[in-house]
Amino acid sequence: MLNTQQFIAAQQAQVESFFDLTHKAFSNMEKVVELNLATARATLSESADLAKAALAAKDPQSLMALQASVLQPSAEKATAYGRHLADIAKSAQADVVAVAEAQVAAVQQSLHQLVDVATKNAPAGTESGVAFVKQAVEAANSAYANVQKAAKQATDIAEANFNAVTETAVKAAKAAGKSSKKAA
């Protein structure tokens, strides 16, 4: 069974994991804030330049050409922002998964130790009960592994779908930019 030192060590590991995960969460939030500030700065600067160029336009055709020249880069910048944000989210998810996997591994190890101790100390005639508990633990571990595998596949599919949608949006923006330039 668990003794006091093992219990204290488990609690310390839990606290360390919590603070490690909290630190990583704040780090990822800082990345999002930095990204948003950089985006806001760039947008403000580009808006000022665009306003100056629009005021300097001599005729409606040059104003339309200016508008068409802004469309494609804006879509590409929005796509780049989305990709960067998705990378930050993916990094945060990886941090959480790593901590969760470490916790599950520790729990599994403790459970195996508990089952081994119980097996050694089990009274005669309880072998079938002990075997049942061992099978239940193995089935739970197998089920967890299958859920983990399915979650990874779902994440990979979602990422592939995001990349496909992003690529489609960029192509559509490029096509719209070309057709606007032709119309002007």
- pLDDT tens, residue order, the chain (184 aa): 456 887 788 788 888 888 988 999 999 999 999 999 999 999 999 999 999 999 998 898 888 888 888 877 887 888 889 889 989 998 898 888 888 888 878 777 877 777 777 777 778 777 777 778 778 878 887 887 788 788 778 878 877 887 787 777 777 766 766 665 565 5
Look at the chain and report how many structural domains it folds into. Answer: 1
Element (H, E) at 9: helix 4-56
Long-range contacts formed by 157-165: CB under 8 A, 24+ apart: 159/86, 159/90, 162/86
Widest distance between CA atoms in the chain: 99
Residue 38 domain boundaries: 4-183
Q: Which residue type does 166 have?
A: T
